[in-house]
């Protein structure tokens, strides 16, 4: 669990056809009834949204989701053709059996809650002095009651791993769901209480007892929410980096039996630990003494059932869907069983599936072309840094050193994970096997403590349709899943490739210099390498950019949160500017030859806008505003591009049009 990774949802949408450049910008995506100067997002994406009405199985579906669906179907083709007679212990056997177990609805419904009984019974026998071990056992691949822990690189010494303790325990994921009083949040909160009660009843509790248990669980989670750090504060590493010895940890939080906790996770010598949110852990420490034993047990039981619900009978899975997908996101129907079943091995045995995936779907020339694009974008970003008017020469040198120290990962890792010690046993229940795979992964994560940081490790699987920047290793990564048509097409014109994958490359690069990434040096260490004056100027520009987003209405009277989405907004802004500069160095960019009636510059911006074409439910817009550090698609287009003079020139946007922004109000950071 990479709590500090700066990962983007890298969405691209140029609907290209190999060898046919006119189709790289598809006119059917456009809304010809909307002027680009009035609403560029609607102009560029309105046709796509009309032609792709939202399927009720989705809360949001866009061009990124189309590409993800393509990747999912590719993985399905791999898994469903593995055969049934693979040797026990082979990768094919593990992947195939795990998928088959998820598909066996008859068996799942027949087993009902049977797979839960033994663990629930063990929780009921706990005494107060055993709670710390029970919490640790759940942290070992099940769920995260009360708080959570993870092994990651030391923020100030990126070569060494450290144990981090962080706030958690909230089933709805964010503190605001427990505290806000607007109508939508209250509706979701009431649905959550009903869901908790429903799970207890499905697990055999009588209705009255289930209702009381749900109230106790909600009281615990609400108390945790009241002391939880805000989303905005969690972006400030100076507030998170609270390192202490184990002796001090035991002294400050004595009601948690840390020896018991570490022993259960097989952590022998944790060394120093980092407590991300001391106030939250202090509340947990208090709860370990003040809560009734029965309340703690009920909370742990709920966390266990909640984790298992998607892998049990239809009654459990439907309740889970109704809460987390219908109530929170606005989805109307469940996805087909094969999709859910496929996602399990695709996630829990991700690199095993990935190895099969790249053999079939990732051509070598894509990696070569991608490396060329990365090199061009890196050069363009270097030129931007060198000419910044607000940055001092000293800071520019450090910035260029960091840029030239990027590690670039493309396609797939050079070494693959070893899954030989994981046993997938089809004679056991689906949940037991899922839990075995989750514990296998958790054991691997905790085993990194005391070892040097593995700089070759990937934090996404090759088949993932996404990309990321990791500050502790100063690396950018582009998995094979995203490097395919219609996202990335070596046969498309340069304007469309640079407007799509090029912006994503620039986005990832500028993550190294956003409001979080800027705190890390070229080695990935949290070091202040800025002059005070430069830092102040950066913050002034970043705050101005954030205000542009916060001015936008999401739904009802809810505004976007420009502070929470700051890093992604800066990266979008920088990615656009840098990719456009790199594009203008290409032959197409230097000329002005139209294709299908669009100039090269217009094709660049249309390609970028189509990245974010999507339909989305109101509930999902509100949910993402609470929990997603990315702005909504319409704002990633209409807010971001209105800072670029090149956009106004490309579409002849004039003062008085809604898309116009006065030069004095525009922001240029990178």
- DSSP assignment of 125-137: T--GGGHHHHHHH
What is the C-alpha to C-alpha distance for residues 168 and 281, in angstroms, rounded to an integer?
A: 9
Distance between CA atoms of 563 and 488, rounded to whole angstroms? 31
Which residues of the chain are in CATH 1.10.1380.10 domains? Answer: 117-311
Cβ contact 221:169 at 8 Å: yes
What's the whole-number mean pLDDT along residues 456-461? 95
CATH architecture designation of domain 117-311: Orthogonal Bundle (1.10)
What is the C-alpha separation between 294 and 126, in angstroms, rounded?
Answer: 9
Token pair, residue 553, equals 């209405």
- H-run or E-run covering 583: helix 566-583
> Quick one: which H or E segment has residue 153?
strand 147-154
> What is d(CA 473, CA 455) in angstroms, rounded to the nearest whole number?
7
Burial 355-364 (b: 16+ CB within 10 A, else e): bbbbeebbee
Q: What does the alpha-carbon distance between residue 113 and residue 120 come to, in Å, rounded to a whole number?
A: 10
Query: b/e map of 391-424 (b: 16 or more CB within 10 Å)?
Result: beeebbebbeebbeebebbbbbbeeebebeebeb
Give the separation between CA 457 and CA 161, rounded to whole angstroms: 13
CATH value of 6-16+26-77+365-415+456-665 in 1.10.3720.10, 3.40.390.10, 1.10.10.10, 3.40.50.12780? 3.40.390.10
The Cα angle at residue 599 between residues 598 and 604, in degrees rounded to 5:
90
Read off the pLDDT of residues 309-330 as tens digits, 9 standing for 90 and up. Answer: 999 999 999 999 999 999 999 9
Coil, strand or helix at 441:
helix
- What number of H helices and E strands is found in the chain? 30, 12
Residue-wise pLDDT for 85-125, tens only, equals 899 999 999 999 999 999 999 999 999 999 999 999 999 99
- Kindly report whether the peptide bond that precedes residue 450 is cis, defined as omega within 30 degrees of 0: no
Indicate if the pLDDT at residue 4 is higher than 80.
no
Which residues of the chain are in CATH 3.40.390.10 domains?
6-16+26-77+365-415+456-665
Tell whether the torsion through CA atoms of 524, 526, 529 and 530 is positive or negative.
Answer: positive
Distance CA 122, CA 456 (A): 40
For position 23, what pLDDT does the model report? 55
Quote the CA–CA distance of 566 and 542 in Å, as a whole number: 7
Query: What mean pLDDT is predicted for residues 584-612?
Result: 95
> What is the arithmetic mean of pLDDT over 645-657?
97
Evaluate if residue 5 carries a pLDDT over 80.
no
What is the pTM for the complete model shown?
Answer: 0.91
Instruction: State the pLDDT confidence band at 291, using cuts at 50, 70 and 90.
Output: very high
Q: What is the mean pLDDT of residues 253-269?
A: 96
Handedness of CA 500, 501, 507, 509 (dihedral sign): negative
Say what the pLDDT of residue 486 is. 61
**Mind listing the pLDDT tens digit for each residue in 217-234?**
999 999 999 999 999 999
Dist. CA 428–CA 448, nearest whole Å: 29
Please report, for residues 26, 52, 468, 504, the alpha-carbon distance to residue 482 in angstroms, rounded to integers and kept in the order given.
Answer: 20, 21, 11, 10
Residue 471 DSSP SS3:
coil
Give pLDDT, residue 84.
84
Cα of 119 vs its chain's centroid, Å? 30
Task: State CA 315 to chain mean position distance.
Answer: 28
pLDDT of 496: 93
Predicted confidence band at 395 (pLDDT cuts at 50, 70, 90)?
A: very high
What pLDDT is attached to residue 6?
A: 33
**Do β-strands 60-62 and 614-616 pair in parallel, antiparallel, or remain unpaired?**
antiparallel
- Close Cβ partners of 31 (under 8 Å, ≥ 6 residues apart): 42, 43, 44, 45, 46, 47, 50
Query: Which residue, among 482, 496, 587, has the nearest Cα to 24 in the 3D structure?
Result: 496
Q: Which residue has the higher pLDDT, 389 or 489?
A: 389
8 Å CB contact between 31 and 43? yes
Q: What is the pLDDT of residues 548-587, one digit of tens each?
A: 999 999 999 999 999 999 999 999 999 999 999 999 999 9
Measured distance CA(608)–CA(613) in Å, rounded? 10
Q: In sequence order, what are the beta bridge partners of 275? A: 165
User: Does residue 365 carry a pLDDT above 90?
Assistant: no
Q: What is the CA radius of gyration of the chain?
A: 25
The CB density around residue 495, as the number of other CB atoms within 10 Å, is 29
Nearest residue to 218 (alpha-carbon basis) of 170, 157, 159: 170
pLDDT exceeding 70 applies to what percent of the chain? Answer: 96
Closest to 447 (Cα-Cα) out of 244, 138, 153, 151:
151
Q: Which of 52, 18, 47, 30 is nearest to 597 (CA)?
A: 30
In angstroms, the CA 33 to CA 39 distance is 11
3-state class percentages of the chain: helix first, strand second, coil last, to nearest 5: 55, 10, 35
Amino acid 293: pLDDT: 98
pLDDT of residue 484: 76
What does the alpha-carbon distance between residue 299 and residue 134 come to, in Å, rounded to a whole number?
Answer: 12
> What is the 3-state secondary structure of 367-425?
HHHHHHHHHHHHHHHHHHHHCCCCCCHHHHHHHHHHHHCCEEEEECCCCCCCCCCCCCC
């Amino acid at each position: 669990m990479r709590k500090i990774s700066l990962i983007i949802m890298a969405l691209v949408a140029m609907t290209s056809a190999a060898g046919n450049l006119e189709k790289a910008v598809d006119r059917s995506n456009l809304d010809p009834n909307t002027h680009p100067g009035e609403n560029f997002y609607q102009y560029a994406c309105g046709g796509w949204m009309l032609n792709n009405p939202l399927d009720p199985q989705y809360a949001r579906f866009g061009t990124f989701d189309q590409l993800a669906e393509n990747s999912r179907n590719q993985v399905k083709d791999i898994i469903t053709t593995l055969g049934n007679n693979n040797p026990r212990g082979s990768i094919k056997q593990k992947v195939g059996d795990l998928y088959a177990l998820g598909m066996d609805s008859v068996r799942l419904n027949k087993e009902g809650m049977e797979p839960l009984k033994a663990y629930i019974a063990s929780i009921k026998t706990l005494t107060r002095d055993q709670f710390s071990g029970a919490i640790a056992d759940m942290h070992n691949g099940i769920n995260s009651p009360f708080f959570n822990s993870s092994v990651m690189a030391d923020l100030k010494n990126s070569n060494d791993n450290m144990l981090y303790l962080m706030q958690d325990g909230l089933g709805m994921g964010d503190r605001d769901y427990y505290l806000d009083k607007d109508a939508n949040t209250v509706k979701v909160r009431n649905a959550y209480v009903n869901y908790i009660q429903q799970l207890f009843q499905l697990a055999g509790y009588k209705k009255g007892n289930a209702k009381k248990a749900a109230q106790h669980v909600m009281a615990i989670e609400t108390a945790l929410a009241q002391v939880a750090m805000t989303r905005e504060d969690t972006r400030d590493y100076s507030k998170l980096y609270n390192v202490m010895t184990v002796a001090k940890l035991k002294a400050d939080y004595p009601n948690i039996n840390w020896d018991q906790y570490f022993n259960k996770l097989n952590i022998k010598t944790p060394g120093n630990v980092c407590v991300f949110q001391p106030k939250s852990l202090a509340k947990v420490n208090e709860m370990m003494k003040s809560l009734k034993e029965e309340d703690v047990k009920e909370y742990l039981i709920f966390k266990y059932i909640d984790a298992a619900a998607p892998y049990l009978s239809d009654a459990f899975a439907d309740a889970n869907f109704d809460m987390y997908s219908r109530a929170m996101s606005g989805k109307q129907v469940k996805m087909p069983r094969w999709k859910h079943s496929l996602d399990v091995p695709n996630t829990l045995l991700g690199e095993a599936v990935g190895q099969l995936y790249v053999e079939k779907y990732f051509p070598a020339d894509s990696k070569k072309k991608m490396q060329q694009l990365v090199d061009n974008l890196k050069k363009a970003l270097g030129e931007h840094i060198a000419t910044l008017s607000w940055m001092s020469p000293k800071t520019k040198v450090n910035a260029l050193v960091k840029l030239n120290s990027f590690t670039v990962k493309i396609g797939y890792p050079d070494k693959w994970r070893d899954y030989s010690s994981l046993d997938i046993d089809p004679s056991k229940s689906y949940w037991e096997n899922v839990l075995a795979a989750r514990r296998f992964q958790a054991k691997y994560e905790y085993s990194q403590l005391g070892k040097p940081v593995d700089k070759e490790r990937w934090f996404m699987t090759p088949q993932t349709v996404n990309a990321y920047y990791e500050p502790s290793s100063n690396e950018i990564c582009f998995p094979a899943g995203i490097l395919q048509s219609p996202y990335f097409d070596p046969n498309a014109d340069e304007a469309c490739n640079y407007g799509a994958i090029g912006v994503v490359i620039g986005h990832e690069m500028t993550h190294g210099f956003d409001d979080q990434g800027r705190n890390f040096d070229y080695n990935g260490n949290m070091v202040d390498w800025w002059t005070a004056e430069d830092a102040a100027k950066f913050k002034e520009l970043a705050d101005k950019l954030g205000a542009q987003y916060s001015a936008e209405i999401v739904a009802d009277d809810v505004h976007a949160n420009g502070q929470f989405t700051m890093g992604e907004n800066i990266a979008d802004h920088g990615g656009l500017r840098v990719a456009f500069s790199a594009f203008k160095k290409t032959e197409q960019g230097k000329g002005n030859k139209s294709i299908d009636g669009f100039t090269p510059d217009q094709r660049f911006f249309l390609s970028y806008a189509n990245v974010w074409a999507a339909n989305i439910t109101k509930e999902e817009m509100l949910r993402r505003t609470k929990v997603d550090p990315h702005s909504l698609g319409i704002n990633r287009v209409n807010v971001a591009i209105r800072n670029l003079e090149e956009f106004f020139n490309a579409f002849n946007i004039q003062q008085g049009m809604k898309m116009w922004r006065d030069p004095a109000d525009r922001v240029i950071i990178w």
